[in-house]
Amino acid sequence: MATQTVSMDARARAQDRRVMWREARRNGWAYLFISPFYLLYAVFGIFPVLYGLWLSFHKWDGISPMQWNAAQNYLKLLTDDIWWYTIYNTIWLFFGATVPQLCLALLLAFIINSSTIRGKDFFRAAYFMPIVCSAVAVSLIFGSMFGERYGMLNFALSAVGIPPVDWLGSAAWLKPSIAMVTVWQWTGYSMIIFLAGLQAINLELYEAARVDGARTRDVFWHITMPLLRPVILFQVILSIIGAMQTFDLPVMLAGGTQSSAPGGTDRAGLVAAVLLYWTAFKYTEFGYAAAMSFVLFFLIITFSYTYNRFQGRNPTE
Amino acid sequence: MATTVQSRPRGGGGRDRLAGPFGMAALYVVLAGGALLTAFPFYYMLVTSTHRTSEILRIPPPMWFGAALQQNYAELLDALPFWASFWNSVAIAAVHTVLVLLFCSLGGYGFAKFRFPGRDALFAFLLATLMVPGFLGLIPVFIVFRQLGWIDTWLPLIIPGIANAFGIFWMRQYIESSVPAELMDAARIDGAHEVRIYWNVIVPVIVPALAALAILTFIGKWNDFLLPLLILKEEEKYTLPVALSTLRSLRGSEIGVQILGATGAILPILVVFISASRQFISGITAGAVKGV
């Protein structure tokens, strides 16, 4: 009797061990399956960021030995007028392009989401087309449409009596031009994301509100907007990150990558990522450029955090 | 209750009914106007690539197709190795996409269907990396590529992103919600190898998610500009966007040639997108909403 219990215990334990061993072997496979990301991210993600931080405290042209520079790069940045002007341009483009783009996208998403609108698929696809296009190719097309004397846009304006504008050649109009192309290219994408958020809202909530006699406006402010808030928050934060490192469109519309003076007339189109590229790879000031990238990162975090705090408060509560 | 719902005008009961008949007409005008503004540059692109500069700069500008397509095409081939760049872009994007599908589906499967110590922390870390902007490591990663001897090769464009956080997250969401555990348990009882289970049981079920990720990855890589601009030195290795970025200085005057080059980069992708737009958009939508 007693010996039988012991042997049953032993058998159960052996069974347990077999199960655990099988579990461990299976887990081994799971670790193997997910390991490529961590290996690649260690080499091409974490290491470069840490190395970049180290680099930002050095003076280095990429070839000769690095010189320890303490915080000189950061101190120099604080008083670098060109750098702060590129930050101004970048923020200008955020408010001049990204914010209108997001508002427009939200408006279009509301309209298309309305149950009485037909042809939803068509409109979604039509508005989405620009985002699948290469920014370089897009800037060649708009570069021609923005031509000063004979461009399509000035021709259209002249039809309603507006004198021609030097879109890409004048310091005053370069940023608005970049903003227009950005809005053209990105509105559809944001709209799709907002639309997805709207369609995920449970229809029964609307039903219940209607049954309780809520008006359209109340439904909008007390059901739609609060439920859409996480989606908006998500999209705005991603847009801040994207806008602060925008490169392709500004560099191409402001004279291209082979231009000797980046940013076009009076550097009006010079954004942070373009100056960073030029500083590192044309002027070969790697340490200084690395410091720029960390200041830019700090600004992104600050803006995202501020926005998060700002939108985190619920106006309907 | 039921009669209340039925007596309501069609469609009015669900989401917001925005406006009366006149309001509806106005909304359609807004939507159609926006769609026209969105589509016009594409029409302009097709028309302008068939004209010479002298015609393009006429007032009014040409609004219908011209006869200079062949001449522009010949000059485009003179100005840059268009087809070499085109096939370089195809090759890089295709190889990258195939590897992304393999490694991201494996990673997503690992996170979705296994319980192992540290899983949640590892996944949280993976999500956090999505918030790190790309330029932060741009300069040092260039040095890393230089140390590896990867400058002026395609490897930096193909390899680093093959197991990326977005793709793994995407595949995990799909596998978690649409692959029943019984499928794998049945295979395990039959004694199938884990690799076999992945290939024979998981992969066939996740084809829709793989397709959406494939289109997304291919388009992103096709349009990639900054990294190939940094890495590629010899003209015969250029991708299409890098080759096109030299057009302005090479052939500054011939607008039709530039636009034809742009058409070569845009049209193939646009055709792919339009033929698969429904799956593509619903794919993005699913990923976006679940991601919040």
Q: Considering only the beta carbons, identify the residue of A41, A116, A219 that sits closest to B11.
A: A116
pLDDT (0 to 100) of residue B3 = 35
CATH number of the domain residue B146 falls in: 1.10.3720.10
> Is B133 within a domain?
yes
HSE, side-chain direction, 13 A CA sphere, residue A82 = 15
Number of domains in chain B: 1
Residue B16 falls within a domain, yes or no? no
Which tokens go with B113? 């269907």
pLDDT at B90 over 60: yes
Spatial separation of the C-alpha atoms in residues B5 and B22, rounded to whole Å: 24
Assess if residue B20 is contained within a domain. Answer: no
In a domain, B39, yes or no: no
Q: Do B140 and A48 touch (CB under 8 A)?
A: yes
Question: Residue A46: how many CB atoms within 10 A of its CB?
Answer: 14
According to the model, what pLDDT value does residue B182 have?
A: 82
Interface size, chain A vs chain B, as Cβ–Cβ contacts under 8 Å: 315
Amino acid occupying residue A252: M
* pTM of this structure: 0.86
Task: Please state, in angstroms and rounded to a whole number, the distance separating the CA atoms of residues B108 and B122.
Answer: 12
Task: Indicate whether B181 belongs to any domain.
Answer: yes
Q: In A, which residues are within 8 Å of B135 by CB distance? A: 245, 247, 273, 276, 293, 296
Structure tokens at B278: 């429904």
Alpha-carbon distance A97 to nearest alpha carbon in chain B (angstroms)? 16
What pLDDT sits at residue B8? 38
Say if the Cβ atoms of A207 and B17 lie within 8 Å: no
d(CA A315, CA B228): 46
Q: Note whether A121 and B278 are within 8 A (CB).
A: yes
How many helical (H) and strand (E) elements, i.e. helices and strands, does chain A have? 15, 2
Q: Which of B18, B41, B285 sits opposite A114 (nearest CB)?
A: B18
Place of tokens 């579990």: A23
Asked if the structure places residue B196 within a domain, the reply is: yes
Q: Count how many residues are written for chain B.
A: 292
Mutate one of B135, B238, B278 to test the A interface: name it (highest A CB count within 10 A): B135
CB contact under 8 A, B141 and A48: yes
- Using an 8 Å Cβ cutoff, are B27 and B41 in contact? no
Task: State the pLDDT at residue B9.
Answer: 40
**pLDDT digits 0-9 by tens, A191-203:** 988 988 888 888 8
Q: Cβ of A192 and B269 within 8 Å?
A: no
| Predicted confidence (pLDDT) per residue in B137-150, tens digit | 899 999 999 999 99
Q: Which residues of A touch B4 (CB under 8 A)?
A: 211
CB contact under 8 A, B137 and A52: yes
Query: Is A196 within 8 Å of B285 when comparing Cβ atoms?
Result: yes
A 156-185 residues with CB < 8 A to B: 184
Residues B221-255 have pLDDT tens digits of 999 999 999 999 999 999 999 999 988 765 556 88
Instruction: Give residue B18's pLDDT.
Output: 59
Spatial separation of the C-alpha atoms in residues A152 and B44, rounded to whole Å: 9
Q: Is the pLDDT of residue A244 over 70?
A: yes
CA dist., res. A187 & res. A183, Å (int): 6
Residue at token pair 């093959």 = B162
Rounded Cα–Cα distance for residues B47 and A137 (Å): 15
Q: Which of A255, A279, A104 is nearest to A185 (CA)?
A: A104
Mean pLDDT lowest among A166-180, A284-298, B14-28 = B14-28
Partners of B11 on chain A (C-beta within 8 Å) are 115-116
Containing structural domain, residue B208: 81-245
B289 to A133: CB separation less than 8 angstroms, yes or no: no
Is A144 in contact with B114 (Cβ distance < 8 A)?
no
Q: Is B126 helix (H, G, I), strand (E, B) or coil?
A: helix
B57 touching chain A per CB within 8 A:
yes
Q: Which residues of A touch B225 (CB under 8 A)?
A: 134-136, 247-248
B15: exposed, middle or buried (C-beta count within 10 Å: 0-12, 13-18, 19+)?
buried
* Mean of all residue pLDDT scores within chain A: 87
- Across the interface, whether the CB atoms of A241 and B133 are under 8 A apart is answered yes
Q: Do A134 and B31 touch (CB under 8 A)?
A: no
Question: Which range has the top average pLDDT, B26-30, B97-101, B116-120?
Answer: B97-101
Q: Is residue B55 part of a domain?
A: no
Residue A315 clears pLDDT 70, i.e. is over it? no
B100 at interface of A, judged by CB pairs closer than 8 A: no
Q: Are A257 and A35 a contacting pair, CB within 8 Å?
A: no
pLDDT per residue as tens digits for the range A251-291: 999 988 888 788 888 898 999 999 999 999 999 999 999 99
Distance CA(B27)–CA(B21), nearest Å, equals 10
CA distances from A95 to A92, A152, B66, B111 (A): 5, 26, 40, 39
Q: Is the pLDDT of residue B87 over 60?
A: yes
Closest Cβ opposite residue A219 in set B16, B48, B230: B16
Hey, is the C-beta of B200 within 8 angstroms of any chain A C-beta? no
User: What pLDDT, in 10s, does the model give residues A204-224?
Assistant: 888 888 888 888 788 888 888
B59: three-class secondary structure by DSSP: coil
In a domain, B187, yes or no: yes
User: pLDDT class for B59, splitting at 50, 70, 90?
Assistant: confident
User: Cα distance from B217 to chain A (closest Cα, Å)?
Assistant: 11
Neighbouring residues of A310: CB distance < 8 A, sequence distance ≥ 6: none
Tokens standing for A272? Answer: 């942070």
